[in-house]
Amino acid sequence: MLSNSKYPLRSEKRNNRLSYTAIRFEGYHDYPSQTQPGNSNCMYECYFFENNVIELNFGNWYAPITGAVAGLYSASGTSLASYSPNANTGFVFVPNATATVYTVNTSNSYITGAVVTRQALDLGSAPATTWTPSGWNSLQNAYADDQNVASNLHLNILFNNTSRGTVYIGSNFFITFGGGSGVTNPSSTNPALDKIMMNSGDRSYQRVGYKYGFK
């Protein structure tokens, strides 16, 4: 876990709000187009809360890829949760005590420790009008294919019964734990890492950012 002195948010829980790390992702459904920042057609924001709850909120989302692989999986391909990404839909994944099974809440967000009606994305459903937006930190601001970037979590979370302090955001529409990957043929077992998959395939990203906060 990260220290209080370096990350003062750790000790500042207020009004039942929970500490989170948020990831903003702006990607494109393929890679040959070499789409540039500001022209992405797939947006999501993922929140990792200190109590191990995960919120995944989708903005604009290219509809023809809805049949691609999606879900929360272990490195070996065991399903921890199933869901189907869709445009302007939010999901809240509430884990059991070991974070090996998740209850999936659809069309929802997570605020002050409660599952509520879905809220709009912090930066909107379309590509952000400016980059880097106020309050966010940039990890990526250029077209990239088969790449990943890492973000430290404000507080460690438990995922698949393992404490994690870093997430790796892949250009092929997945987030992994324990290491990054640029595999071009993702599946429930590939990459061989614990992972969150969002219609994963051979795709690209243009922008990735993160921020710490409470809600």
Q: Which of the four pLDDT bands, split at 50, 70 and 90, describes residue 6?
A: very low
| Mean pLDDT confidence for 83-102 | 97
Lowest mean pLDDT among 9-13, 176-180, 193-197, 210-214: 9-13
Round the average pLDDT of the chain to a whole number and report it. Answer: 93
DSSP string, the chain: ---TTT-GGGG---TT--EEEEEEEEEES-STT-PPTT--SEEEEEEEETTS-EEEEEEEE-GGGTTSEEEEE-TT--EEE-----TT-EEEEEE-TTSSSEEEEESEEEETTEEEEPPPPTT-SSPPSSSSPTT-EEEEEEEEES-EEEEEEEEEEEETTEEEEEEEEETTTEEEESS----SS-BTTBSSSEEEEEEESS-EEEEEEEEEEE-
At residue 12, does pLDDT exceed 70? no
pLDDT tens-digit map of 43-77: 999 999 999 999 999 999 998 886 689 999 999 99
Tell me the per-residue pLDDT of 21-49, one tens digit each, with 9 for 90 and over: 999 999 999 999 999 999 999 999 999 99
- Per-residue pLDDT band for 15 (boundaries 50, 70, 90) equals confident
- Local confidence band at 10 (pLDDT 50, 70, 90 cut-offs): very low
Checking if the pLDDT of 1 tops 80, the result is no
> pLDDT-derived band of residue 19, with 50, 70 and 90 as boundaries?
very high
User: Would you kindly state where each structural domain of the chain is located, as residue ranges?
Assistant: 15-214
